[in-house]
Structure 1
Amino acid sequence: MANYTAADVKKLRELTGAGMMDCKKALDEADGNVDKAVEALRIKGQKGVAKREGRSAENGAVVSLIAGDNTSGVVLELKCETDFVAKSEKFLVVANALAAHVAATSPADLEGLLGSEIESGKTVQAYVDEANANLGEKIVLDRFAQFSGGYVSAYMHRTMPDLPPQIGVLVELDKENAEVAKGVAQHIAAFAPKYLAREDVPAEVVETERRVAEETTRAEGKPEAAIAKIVEGRLNGFFKDATLLGQPYALDNKKSVQQILDEAGVTLKRFARIKVGI
C-alpha cells in the first residue's frame, strides 16, 4: 500500500474537489505523491467531461456583481447537476469569478464570453471545463446579463435557505433610488414578467396570443357578436401577466408598478430576470 496520510487525502480533496475514494485511489496509484495524484485526477476528470455532456444540469446558482457606485452590474447563472455541488464553495468561487470576468470585459454575447481569455492562455470555456473536471459534474454557463449607464441594482432570492440564490434580478433606473430599485426587483423576482411594457412585446407574439384567444373562444361556442370583445379581454389579460409596468405592485397592490415609478420620479430603463434551470 502506498505511503500517505489522512492529511494527504484532505489536501488532495481541497486541491481537486474530488471525492474521498477517488483521492485515495489516485494516491495509491501515485505511490503517495500528491502532485502526481493531482495530475492523475485532472486527466481522469477531463476524460469525464465528454461523458457528462448528455447529463442534465438543472441545479446551480445565480450570482451578481454590482459596481460600488451602482453604475453597472452583472447577474450570471452557472448550472450543475446536484444541489450538493451548487452550494459548495468551489462551485460558487467559479460562478463569482465568471461574473467578475463579465464585469471586467463586457462581452457582447455568450459566444464572445466563452471564447474570451479569463486567465493567461485559458478561455472561459476551458475554465468551465476545468470546473467540470474538478467538481465531477456537468457544469454549464449559458446565461448572463450586464447593464451599465444608469442606476443599476440587483436582488437575489433564495428559494431554499441552504442553497445559494436561485433567482437573480438586475434592474436599471434612469436615476438613483435604492428603495424603488429594490422593491421593483423583488416584484420582478416574484411575478416573472417577460417584458417591460406592451410596446416591447414582439408583434408575432401578440398575433399568436390573439389567434389562440380567438380559436379558444370559438371552441367554447361563444356568440359570434361577442367574440371580438372576449378576445380583446383575454389579450389584455395576457399583457397584464407578461408586462411589468401594468402589473399591480407586489408591495402595494392598489398601485401599478408604473404608478410607483412615476411617484418616485424615476424610469425603469430595463430589467433581466434569471431563474436557475428556467
Structure 2
Amino acid sequence: MVVTAQDVAALRQKTGAGMMDCKKALIEAKGDFTQAIDFLRKKGQKIFADRATHHASEGAVFAAASLDHKMSFLLVLNCETDFVAKNELFLKLGKSILEAAVAYRPISMEALQALPLGNQTVQGAVVESIGTIGEKITISSYETLTAETTVPYIHTGNRLAVLVGLEGAQGEQVRAAGRDVAMQIAAMAPVALDKNQVDPAMLVKESAIIHAQVINEGHKDDKAEKITQGRLHKFFQENTLLPQPFVKNTKLTVAEYLQTVAPSLTVTAFKRIAVGA
C-alpha cells in the first residue's frame, strides 16, 4: 500500500496528529481514513502515559451560559502546540465538554471529568483524543458562576474568557451591559470587585510598597501616611472593577455605568481565566 504525502497531510490536517503517526496509521489502515482515525484513537491510553511529563501550555477557552442565564460555565482545554489548538477535532472536543457542563451543571473539576460524554466519560474522551491528535491534552481550569444574570465572554483569539454575575435587573439590555463589563475585565484584569474584596495579603503588600516609595521620596512621617493613603486610594480606583473608569465612557465608573442601565444593577462576582495563566 502506497501512502502519499498528500494523504498524510490530509490526515494531519483533520486530526492534528504528528506526520509519522499519520503515515503509520494510514499504512495500518491500508489508506482508509476512517480506519486510520480509529487506529490513532486506540493509541490514546499509551500516548497519554508517554506524554504525562510534556508541557501543555497552548489551548483554547470555552464558555457558555445556561438557557435561563443564571449560571455560566468556563473551561480551558490545553494542548502542546498552537497548531493543535486550532485543530477541528480539538475544538470539537472542547465544545462537547462545554455542552455536557451546561447540561449537567457540575460544580467541580472532578464532577466535570466524570460526566457522561457519548459512550464514555469526559476524561475518557480527553484520553482518547490524545491518541487521535498525538499531543498531551488536559482540562486545566473549570469555573462556574451563579447569579441573577450571568454573562460569558470569550476574547478574540479564544485564549481568554470572562464570566460576569449581575443582580438588580434582568433582560437583554442587562446582558449587553454584562458583556461590556466582561470586555473591560478582559482588558483591565481587575484584582477584585472593589477595595473591600481585595485580598488582605495584597493590601498589606501594596501599602508597604507605596509607603516605602513615599519615604524614599523624602516625605516626613507626618505627611507620609496621608500621601500613602491617597496613592492607595488611586490603586483601588485603577485595579478594582467597580470604581474603574468605564472604557466606553471614561467620564463614568463601571458602577455608574451600570446604574444608567438600571438603578440597582451591579456586579456580584466575576472570573477571568486565560490559557497558560
Q: Return the offset for 1:22.
A: 2.2
Task: Give SS of 1:23's match.
Answer: helix
Task: Give SS of 1:188's match.
Answer: helix
Q: Return the offset for 1:91.
A: 1.0
What is the percentage of aligned positions where both structures have the same residue? 37
**Does the 8 Å CA contact 2:64/2:74 hold for their aligned counterparts?**
yes
1:31-54 Cα offsets, whole Å, 9 max, x none, are 667787556534544323233333
Name the TM-score, length of structure 2 as normaliser. 0.83
1:82-141 Cα offsets, whole Å, 9 max, x none, are 221111111111111111122122222223323x23336743333222222322222221
**Does the 8 Å CA contact 1:16/1:41 hold for their aligned counterparts?**
no
1:162-194 Cα offsets, whole Å, 9 max, x none, are xx4222122122222133122111111111112
Q: Distance in 2 between matches of 1:36 and 1:199?
A: 59
Alignment map for 1:45-124 (pairs within 5 Å): 45-114=44-113, 116-119=114-117, 122-124=120-122
The answer for the alignment partner of 1:217 in structure 2 is: 214
Q: What letter matches 1:152 in structure 2?
A: T
Q: Distance in 1 between matches of 2:213 and 2:51?
A: 43
RMSD (CA atoms): 3.0
Q: Distance in 2 between matches of 1:167 and 1:16?
A: 24
The structure-2 alpha-carbon separation of the partners of 1:122 and 1:215, relative to structure 1 and needing over 3 Å to count, comes to farther
The answer for the alignment partner of 1:133 in structure 2 is: 131
Greater mean alpha carbon deviation, residues 144-153 or residues 241-250 = 144-153
The answer for the alignment partner of 1:167 in structure 2 is: 160
5+ residue gaps, structure 1, are 159-163
**Does the 8 Å CA contact 2:97/2:117 hold for their aligned counterparts?**
no
**Does the 8 Å CA contact 1:103/1:146 hold for their aligned counterparts?**
no
**Does the 8 Å CA contact 1:9/1:20 hold for their aligned counterparts?**
yes
The structure-2 alpha-carbon separation of the partners of 1:19 and 1:67, relative to structure 1 and needing over 3 Å to count, comes to same
The structure-2 alpha-carbon separation of the partners of 1:17 and 1:166, relative to structure 1 and needing over 3 Å to count, comes to closer
Q: Return the offset for 1:255.
A: 0.6
The answer for the alignment partner of 1:145 in structure 2 is: 143
**Does the 8 Å CA contact 2:162/2:182 hold for their aligned counterparts?**
yes
Greater mean alpha carbon deviation, residues 79-88 or residues 29-38 = 29-38
**Does the 8 Å CA contact 2:100/2:115 hold for their aligned counterparts?**
no
Task: Give SS of 2:99's match.
Answer: helix
**Does the 8 Å CA contact 1:217/1:227 hold for their aligned counterparts?**
yes
The structure-2 alpha-carbon separation of the partners of 1:255 and 1:18, relative to structure 1 and needing over 3 Å to count, comes to same
Task: Give SS of 1:154's match.
Answer: strand
The structure-2 alpha-carbon separation of the partners of 1:35 and 1:191, relative to structure 1 and needing over 3 Å to count, comes to closer
Q: Distance in 2 between matches of 1:215 and 1:123?
A: 54
Q: Distance in 1 between matches of 2:139 and 2:8?
A: 30
The answer for the alignment partner of 2:194 in structure 1 is: 197
Q: What letter matches 2:162 in structure 1?
A: V
Q: Distance in 2 between matches of 1:251 and 1:33?
A: 54
Residue in structure 2 matching 1:237, options 230, 234, 239: 234
Across the two proteins, how many residue pairs are aligned to each other?
A: 271
Greater mean alpha carbon deviation, residues 85-94 or residues 201-210 = 201-210
Greater mean alpha carbon deviation, residues 41-50 or residues 196-205 = 41-50
Q: Return the offset for 1:247.
A: 0.1
